[in-house]
Structure 1
C-alpha cells in the first residue's frame, strides 16, 4: 500500500474534501471519478478480508454509489478544493464504525 496515497486519503477525510480518483477497473481500463472519501477497511461481504478504499462515487450513472478499490487499483488521488457534507452522503452508517478516525460530528 502506497503510504503517500493513504495519507492523502486520510487528509481528505479529515478536511472533508472531494478526491479526483484515477484507477484501473477489473477489466484493465483506466477511469477517473470525483469521489467523497469514506474509509479504508476490509469489505464486510468479502471472503478474504483485504483492505479497500471506500468512496462515494459522485460521477457514477444513473446515480452516485459506493466505489471500493483495492490499493493495487488506485493510480492517483488528487485532493480537490471542493468540500462535502458527510451527513448528506453517509446516511446508512452508524457512529464509531470508521477505521480512520475523523471529526464528522454525529458520524464520528
Structure 2
C-alpha cells in the first residue's frame, strides 16, 4: 500500500475534501472519478478481508454509489479544493464505524 496515497486519502477525509481518483477497473480499463473519501477498511462482504479504499463515486451513472478499490487498482489520488458534507452522503452508519478517525460530528 502506498503510504503517500494513504496520507492524502486520510487528509481528504479529515478536511472533507473531494478527491479525483484514477484507477484500473477489474476489466483492465483506466477510469477517473470524482469521489468523497469515506474510509480505508476491509470490505464487510468480502470473504478475504483485505483493506480497500471506500469512497462515494459522484460521477457514476445513473446515480452516485459506493466505490471500493483495492490499493493496487489505484493509480493516482488527488485531493481537490471542493468540499463535501458527509451528512448528505452517509446515511447508513453505525456508531463509530470508521477505521480512519475523523471529526464528522455525530457521524464520527
* Pair in the same fold by TM > 0.5: yes
RMSD of the alignment, in Å?
A: 0.4
Name the residue aligned to 2:75.
75
2:27 alignment counterpart: 27
Tell me the number of residue pairs that the alignment of Structure 1 and Structure 2 aligns: 108
* Alignment TM-score, normalising by the size of structure 2: 0.99
TM-score for both structures, normalised by structure 1:
0.99
1:95 CA drift (Å): 2.5
Summarize deviations over 1:32-54 as a string: whole Å, max 9, x none.
00000000000001100000000
Q: Which runs of 5+ in 2 are unaligned?
A: none
Instruction: Measure, in 1, the Cα distance between the counterparts of 2:73 and 2:107.
Output: 28
Whole-angstrom CA distance in 1 between matches of 2:79 and 2:90: 19
Matched with 1:9 is 9
Cα distance in 2 for partners of 1:24, 1:2 equals 16
Helix, strand or coil for the counterpart of 1:72? helix
In structure 1, the partner of 2:38 is 38
- 2:71 is paired with a residue whose SS is coil
**Structure 1: 5+ residue stretches without partners:** none
CA distance in 1, matches of 2:44, 2:96: 16
